[in-house]
Structure 1
Amino acid sequence: MTLKNVKTSLNKISKTLSEVQDSREFLLKNTREVIILCSRAIIAVHKGDKKSAKTNLKKAESLLKKYQKKAKGDLRRYIITPEQEFVEASCLVAIFEKKEIPTDKKLNVLPESYVLGLLDCVGELKRMIFDKIRIGEISDAIRIFEIMENMYLNLYPFSMYDKVVKETRRKIDVNRILVEDARGAITEEKRRSDLINAINKLQK
């Protein structure tokens, strides 16, 4: 009995695993730039800087496409986080521009990346709503809230896939609280606005 065949097989496996490990480390290291660019795009949206938001998003998309080509087979899981961030930023920019939220096919991302990205977008919408309330743009705040609430309602059934799409249930639970917080803020602001309008009418 000889281990010749075993050694041959193990050498091939070792080479394959080494290549996978190198690719994994490459993806984890280099996709951070995609995440950073998406974060910049989101910050730009909150600042009302449309040009900067779109520029950073375009750069992120270009880099993501490059790394997606390297993420084949099992390596695809290492691209989920940057794809998730890209989905979040893309959806937020679309809402900011009052455009249709892009599909997963349009963004060319994995299904789980799309779901997680939308879930994260809900939190950013709450921030956007509070910013609109702060500057007195209640109508736009209501518009964004309607999108936020409908997004949450459409995502809610995905809590059953928590074992398949990691953290789905936790994110949905958090989003429920965020939606209620936003609803409360808008309701309070609407009442305040209506009261002020009523007082102004009486004073005329």
Structure 2
Amino acid sequence: MFKLQTLESISERSHKEFATRTSVRDQALGQARQLTRHAAHTIRAIHRGEVENAQAELQQAGELAQALKKDLVKFPDLYYAGYTQDAIKEFTEASITVAIIQNQDLPSPENLGVEVATYWNGLAEVVGELRRRCLDILRQGYSDEAERLLGCMDEIYTQLVTMDYPDAVTQGLRRQTDLVRNIVEKTRGDLTLSLRFQLMEHALIDHTRRLNEAE
């Protein structure tokens, strides 16, 4: 038999549940925004050569990432929500970008405390930052450092193409992999062109020197 009292009791419990979840969600959104901001500041600082600043920003990002994981342990649906994982992906990208630019060991998903799919999507986005770094270097001329970074980009792509699983499992990694391929090839072309220009410049300088010596 339908009893109004029973429904009112269910309603009261539901209000408490919804209120709690809303409060937790609002806090998580705030943390995610802060995390994204610190990750962006980390990448900006490392590109500017501000290593200490980058490390400080990255540390704050890491603390926020761990706080999100801890605070949402009882709310897995909120932890795996798009806004949370997107923020953690940005942290992953920043961590790996700093490590590669500094020529340090590559942090693993376990090191960072992030989900595997989020890690690989963050790693895919690192390639764009490495291209940016390469172009900054090439403005000063071809260098071995640019070649090293291209090698890192190549290796990332090589591993990405092996992650051939459904998008529902990898969070859309296949599309990211396609973008990475294009970025790597464009960067390879830029490095090749820069090297050719440098060789031509050296040849021209050498030719001019020989002409001057012959006079």
Deviations 1:142-175 (A, max 9, x none): 1000001110121123353312233322221211
Matched, 1:108 2:113: yes
Q: Amino acid of the residue matched to residue 115 of structure 1? A: W
Aligned CA-pair RMSD: 1.8
- Equivalent residue number for residue 24 of structure 2: 23
Maintained 8 Å contact 1:122/1:175: yes
Alpha-carbon distance in structure 1 between the residues aligned to 2:8 and 2:158: 55
Larger radius of gyration, structure 1 or 2?
2
Structure 1 residues without counterparts, runs of 5 or longer:
none
- Equivalent residue number for residue 2 of structure 2: 2
Alpha-carbon distance in structure 1 between the residues aligned to 2:18 and 2:162: 38
- Equivalent residue number for residue 77 of structure 2: 74
Paired residues, what number? Answer: 204
1:123 shift after superposition: 0.8
Alpha-carbon distance in structure 2 between the residues aligned to 1:158 and 1:24: 31
Q: Amino acid of the residue matched to residue 48 of structure 2? A: K
CA 198–106 in structure 1, closer or farther in 2 if over 3 Å, else same:
same
CA 156–137 in structure 1, closer or farther in 2 if over 3 Å, else same:
same
- Equivalent residue number for residue 58 of structure 1: 59
Q: Under a length normalisation based on structure 1, what TM-score does the superposition of the two structures give?
A: 0.91
- Give matches, 1:1-204, under 5 Å: 1-3=1-3, 4-72=5-73, 73-78=76-81, 79-202=84-207, 203-204=209-210
Q: Percent identity?
A: 27
